[in-house]
Structure 1
């Protein structure tokens, strides 16, 4: 590998590989589940999708797997091959490079292991690779680890975070940079929040079971209802996910901001800032609609989120008697947003629709 290889293959960069494994919560999750489920692994054939450096494949081999296929479309497989050989598992672990739709395995497998999750569960995830592997190579009755995923929405105050990420651009050394603030408001950010500023209970907007999930299940279009448990100014919505393995439900990998862990997380929370904050009150009802989808088929590296959010004195699914507070689009892109992208992401309530702080 040379620096030229890294230009279009970040997964093969040594610093990226280290950050994805060192003291990471998800690695301890996989290690704990694999150890507990070692009888499920022993003498079985296992497929590790998006294997990276081969750590999960080696864990499966150490738990007694008869054969492990470690697959990745990144050139990180060059490193994985060296690691497998150095640990003396070349007779058990076979490293392969390519997409699941193109590869031909020697046999079907008893189980699939993959760290498939992305930001807010789906963005930049490897879930399509897992579904392809399941449909082509998983035996009937086989397992996927993890196979259960849930995505949650919650409203939060986060005034300090918004000031740092967005309102900072209002005055930079005496210069007005509101044009850049509009970009910051149009793009979700990934941040570690504490849970202390949450205003509502979490609302589940997606539940997945990878044993039977279909591609169309990955498009979210559902009504939402947030119940206020602390009054305050809504500055943003937060998205966070949880995943589990159906055979070990007491183990949970979560990005819930209220959950404290000594380990790091690759994902944290996805923050959706609104232009104008507004007060959420316990005596009022808050409903709306959320859409989350890929902009292009089979590409989870370009996605959009749309939220319409209403306030009413009584719960109303039709929102006829409600006041609309938010009508906004956010874009999650690989590269920079264009001017037209940013224009399409401005809150339809307008710049003067509320009180900003």
Structure 2
């Protein structure tokens, strides 16, 4: 399973998708190059370096030494060339290795900063944060920094017109039955989609917040959330939307995957309700709900999302599995 995961990252189209994600690129560029005082003459580790572009940012920000640790063959097929093409071989050392197997050179200092773009759908999909935390515990100096350093998961009730309302009329043809069968086919996992801001019934509440200097890998096995909120606008309650933000140290920079922010390749994760549980809500209608994000026993890089909710005079429940993407 682990080899398959890393083999997938040898597909350069995956890196193309990430590199063309401007909010992602700009967040890391600004966080690193906008904090040159933090990087100057420092030793940095880039966990899951991929093409090596973040390592190059660190070198340009003034780092003395950068370990670009990448498990896939992209390390030797792409990252080495990128570092050489940009004249950074004296600073950036590309190492093809899983960080779990990486060993610092004899007598080498621990690192001052760990940089990584480890986030997956709904933040934790792919389970790469575990590797970053392991690197933190093995290689980061006391008082060292993590980029990003904090992350927050948000959740909000929402409408999902792409799975419900858009099928009432398709070029003059009613396709509600097709839509019902489509939702059934998709029901084993949440929908990964770009949700329009107007489809949110609430601005979102904090599902879970983490300081990456403190969190432990075992804390990621199961995350539970329970809340009662009131709808901030009227609309058809058809699901719950989940997204995340990450923050970087030093000068304040935030990367957000909110529907209210510029779109990213992470999109949003929508837990879709069964049709019989959907309901038109008035503004200020209360919604009580709980969601559990639990690591899958079958694949530790994926999570099961399970939830239940209740409204006045109506109770319902929804269960979904994490997307196998």
Please give the range of the TM-score, normalised by the shorter of the 2 chains: 0.7 to 0.9
Secondary structure at the aligned position of 1:308 is classed as strand
Contact 1:202 1:226 in 2 (8 A): no
TM-score relative to the length of structure 1 = 0.80
TM-score relative to the length of structure 2 = 0.88
Which consecutive unaligned segments of at least 5 residues does structure 2 have? Answer: none
Comparing both chains, which one has the higher relative contact order based on Cα–Cα distances under 8 Å and sequence gaps of 6 or more? Answer: 2
- Aligned length, in residue pairs: 314
Instruction: String of CA shifts for 1:271-316, please: whole Å, max 9, x gaps.
Output: 111112112233542112110011128822x31111110124xxxx
* Separation in 2, partners of 1:7, 1:124: 9
Secondary structure at the aligned position of 2:238 is classed as strand
* Separation in 2, partners of 1:331, 1:14: 28
Match of 2:193 among 182, 191, 194: 191
Instruction: String of CA shifts for 1:305-345, please: whole Å, max 9, x gaps.
Output: 11110124xxxxxxxxx7422x121112437xxxxxxxxxx
1:324 aligns with 2:315: yes
Q: By how many angstroms is 1:181 displaced?
A: 3.5
Q: By how many angstroms is 1:226 displaced?
A: 2.4
1:128 aligns with 2:137: no
Superposition pairs of residues 54-203 of structure 1, within 5 angstroms:
54-78=52-76, 79-106=78-105, 107=108, 108-162=110-164, 181-203=183-205
Contact 1:290 1:308 in 2 (8 A): yes
Superposition pairs of residues 262-341 of structure 1, within 5 angstroms:
265-276=264-275, 277-296=278-297, 299-300=300-301, 302-312=302-312, 323-325=314-316, 327-334=317-324
Cα gap change, 1:136/1:309 in structure 2, threshold over 3 Å: closer, same or farther? same
Q: By how many angstroms is 1:160 displaced?
A: 3.4
* Separation in 1, partners of 2:295, 2:167: 25
Q: By how many angstroms is 1:8 displaced?
A: 6.8
Contact 1:77 1:96 in 2 (8 A): yes
Instruction: String of CA shifts for 1:128-187, please: whole Å, max 9, x gaps.
Output: 11101001000000000001100011111222344569999xx99999796653231221
Secondary structure at the aligned position of 2:273 is classed as strand
Q: By how many angstroms is 1:12 displaced?
A: 1.7
Match of 2:224 among 203, 221, 225: 221
* Separation in 2, partners of 1:223, 1:145: 29
Aligned residue for 1:253?
A: 255
Cα gap change, 1:132/1:279 in structure 2, threshold over 3 Å: closer, same or farther? same
Q: By how many angstroms is 1:248 displaced?
A: 2.6
Contact 2:305 2:321 in 1 (8 A): yes
Contact 1:225 1:287 in 2 (8 A): yes
